[in-house]
Amino acid sequence: MSETPRTITRRAGHVDASAGTLLLEHTVKEVFEGAAGLAHTANFIDGMFRFAVEDADLAPEDRRLHEQIGGRLGPTFAKIDSWTAPLDSGRLIRLVVSCDTGGVYYISLRPGETQFGVAREGAPVETGDRQMAQISDRVRELYSLGPENLGGYGTFVPALPDVPEPAPVLFEAPGADARLVELARRRVSPLDLHYVSGHRGGEHLFSTDVLTDDSLGTYFRKVSVAEHRKRYEEIFLFSRELVRSLTYRLRPALRGRLTRLVMDVEQGALYYRCLPDDLALFGVTLRQNNVWDADRRLETIIEEYTGG
């Protein structure tokens, strides 16, 4: 008796089994089966479902649920792209939304074509995230497009270097936690994590950054440092509302409270992280090569603060 395949491929009825379609499906399936980070991934063009590669034992209701969520995240992706556009950091190329029990991914393969993914239950969110980055690289190669280094996974440093010196504190409200402020300023540097702000609810508690460092000057030729800082505060507020909305919308798939939002643009990334007691951190890196480094640096702040 032949062994049941671990994965299946489903194709929308309006999509022909052309040579190009079959090659694209095969490419995605190869990456899907190369690691155990994804339970489902689906391709969309102009918001319309094209095909999915997924675990063969997914329940029919989960297949429908994942397909629906993937379709509904398209407008959310476009909305975030409009938030980040004034930063002059390029288009949005990757979105990660995660909680303690899992995560979902939404990436841009090229204008008009996107790929959605759902983390496998029990697998680290990073594993599925790396697979989505590989799907991007492989598919863009089929289209004769260069890699976009999603997540900075192609250029991260194995061990984070020491921060040369603490960053300046630019704003500190009376209610700010002095220990969290100090932890943040000791992790922000020109190396990778360039900006961190702390918030309770919608209140801005503190911010620390190195945006005026000479090594980062090329990122502010069109949009000033002051304009960046102001826009970061606005995007934080937008992100806070979005996370609350997505927690409700994604609950059937993730079954947990969202704690992490990563908005990866062509030049760098923005991070929204939830902490206990209605605290949140907002972080930024300007360099695409350091997106994963900055993500880990922000995680270090959280672990040190919460004792994790």
Q: Are residues 142 and 261 in the same domain?
A: no
Residues 6+ apart with CB under 8 A from 49: 12, 42, 43, 67, 70, 71
Residue 142, classed as helix, strand or coil, is helix
Q: Are residues 228 and 128 in the same domain?
A: no
Q: Which of 198, 220, 219, 188 lies closest to 300 in space, CA to CA?
A: 188
| Beta strands at 269-274 and 38-45: parallel, antiparallel or unpaired | unpaired
- 114 is in which domain, residue-wise? 7-152
Q: Is residue 2 in some structural domain? A: no
Q: Are residues 189 and 74 in the same domain?
A: no
Write the CATH number for 66: 3.30.450.30
Q: Are residues 121 and 181 in the same domain?
A: no
What is the rounded CA–CA span in Å between residue 245 and residue 254?
13
Q: What is the pLDDT of residues 102-161, one digit of tens each?
A: 999 999 999 999 999 999 988 999 999 999 999 999 999 999 999 999 999 999 999 999
Q: Are residues 179 and 111 in the same domain?
A: no
What is the rounded CA–CA span in Å between residue 210 and residue 139?
36
Q: What is the pLDDT of residues 170-224, one digit of tens each?
A: 999 999 999 999 999 999 999 999 999 999 999 999 999 999 999 999 999 999 9
Q: Are residues 104 and 232 in the same domain?
A: no
Q: Is residue 157 in some structural domain? A: no
What is the rounded CA–CA span in Å between residue 104 and residue 40?
10
Number of domains in the chain: 2
What is the rounded CA–CA span in Å between residue 52 and residue 41?
6
Q: What is the pLDDT of residues 230-265, one digit of tens each?
A: 999 999 999 999 999 999 899 888 878 899 999 999
Q: Are residues 229 and 124 in the same domain?
A: no
For the entire predicted model, the pTM comes to: 0.96
Q: Are residues 116 and 231 in the same domain?
A: no
Q: Is residue 35 in some structural domain? A: yes
Q: Is residue 160 in some structural domain? A: no
Q: Is residue 146 in some structural domain? A: yes
The first and second tokens of residue 87, run together, are 């930063």
Q: Are residues 130 and 173 in the same domain?
A: no
Q: Is residue 257 in some structural domain? A: yes
Q: Is residue 159 in some structural domain? A: no
Q: Is residue 117 in some structural domain? A: yes
